[in-house]
Amino acid sequence: MLCATWMALAGSWECAAGQPAVVAGKPTQAARLVDSCRSLLDRGDVKGAVAAARQAAALDPANREAPLCLGVALAALGEHAEAVGPLERVLAARPDDPDALFALANAYAALDDPRAERLLERLVALRPDDVDVRLALVEYLWDHEQNQRANTEIERMLADIHGRPDVRVTYAIDLLRQWQFERAARQLEQAQTEGTKTYQVAYLLGNAWWEAGDINRAAASFSSAIAKDPAAAPAHHELGRLLLWMGRPEEAIPHLEKAAAADTSAATELDLGRSYEASGRLDAAETAYRKALALEPSLSPVYYAIGRLLKRTGKSDQAAEALGRYQQLYEAEQQQRFYEASHRAELDYARQDLRRGNAAAALIEFERLGNAPDALIGRANALSRLNRHAEAVQVLERARLLAPKDQRVGYLLARERAAKAAPKR
């Protein structure tokens, strides 16, 4: 999320410290290229901006704005590891340059470098009234599971600002991720009161109320979303699912048929089949289930649904085959979910220990997680904190074999090799 907020700011970034792109009263070719870089960034031509900034830096190494423009453009392009160098040079000369701070924070965040948080805090201190800057810090904290601190900060923001209902909607979306469904619903309702009466907000509100257990409000919100966009498949699908769950399959069918017509998916066909079956339209139900199978042939709930239906209609052999396939897929899915949930929880726990400064404990936890790239990166970071740089290099070289395109690995590897070669104090 930090990247999205940064891009919004980057679209209107200004020349650092108010320096005009003029040398000795007359624009040089390099200065014009820097101006071109800014213009290209504003138009969304990020590759063109990178090319212009590179040419400017090559023509005039003394140009103060070329490295800033290059770093901003590289970060916008997603080349975060390469963006770090020029941006760090800018900040070495101008420590409070807000554009360099923001771009470097974005690059650090993408590379799992904890210095991102400190840079964002500095930027907030420099621009305490800048909503986008404060929101960037909040989004970084959310991304790193510091939910309580992030929620406290965004609630302060909402108390201070007016005319930014998008901030409230952003907060509600993350509350949904945090499973705080009623709080999310209240924020979305407040956004509507403040004038954000969009399809998206009504749709999110329906989901929030359903998860919070208020079925009537959920149905009303989905209906409101459909009124705002009658062709929107997601709202029709969710309202159809809700009506089916409420035991009203006949009312669900028109919504699910509209959803299936607008956006064919296995999930929609499965729910449509369930509604047909609950309404006694067994042939239509089988057709819908078979469409779902054709779209997603490895989805266990579809095999269960069609297996039950085939058994109900006397097609015992086909039913046994479908239910057998369901059992195989279900067991494999459960095993995979258990592994993923366990791995994610252990990884989060190790990262928390590392953030708290307990690198030795974090190292033990990362080592238990084996050779997954994220676990190896965590292990290398823990080794680095313990000044065991040679071992960190070995771990990162292994990670690079497993994830050759992961920018974090190359960036950390360069950093650890430099630390390994540095003379010991």
96-107 pLDDT, tens digit per residue, is 888 889 989 988
Of 15-24, 61-70, 214-223, 275-284, the poorest mean pLDDT is in 15-24
Does position 186 have pLDDT exceeding 90, yes or no? yes
Predicted local confidence at residue 335, as pLDDT: 81
Predicted local confidence at residue 421, as pLDDT: 67
Which tokens go with 293?
């199978």
Determine whether 85 is exposed, middle or buried from the number of CB atoms within 10 Å of its CB (0-12, 13-18, 19+). Answer: middle
DSSP 52-90: HHHHHHHH-TT-SSHHHHHHHHHHHHT-HHHHHHHHHHH
Mean pLDDT value of segment 172-176: 92
Fold of 333-421: 1.25.40
* pLDDT (tens digit per residue) in 300-341: 888 999 999 999 999 999 989 989 988 988 888 888 777 777
Predicted local confidence at residue 172, as pLDDT: 93
| Cα 183 versus chain centre, distance | 21
Question: Where in the chain do CATH 1.25.40.10 domains reside?
Answer: 1-127, 333-421
Look at residues 59, 54, 62, 52 and name the one whose alpha carbon lies nearest to residue 19: 62
* pLDDT (tens digit per residue) in 198-234: 999 999 999 999 999 999 999 999 999 999 999 888 8
Record the pTM: 0.72
Predicted local confidence at residue 342, as pLDDT: 81
| Cα 136 versus chain centre, distance | 13
Fold of 1-127: 1.25.40
Does position 424 have pLDDT exceeding 70, yes or no? no
Q: What span, in angstroms and rounded, lies between the C-alpha atoms of 294 and 308?
A: 18
Does position 21 have pLDDT exceeding 50, yes or no? no
Whether the CB-CB separation of 288 and 267 falls below 8 Å is answered with no
Q: What span, in angstroms and rounded, lies between the C-alpha atoms of 352 and 399?
A: 21
Q: What span, in angstroms and rounded, lies between the C-alpha atoms of 52 and 42?
A: 13
Which tokens go with 61?
């190494």
Predicted local confidence at residue 13, as pLDDT: 46
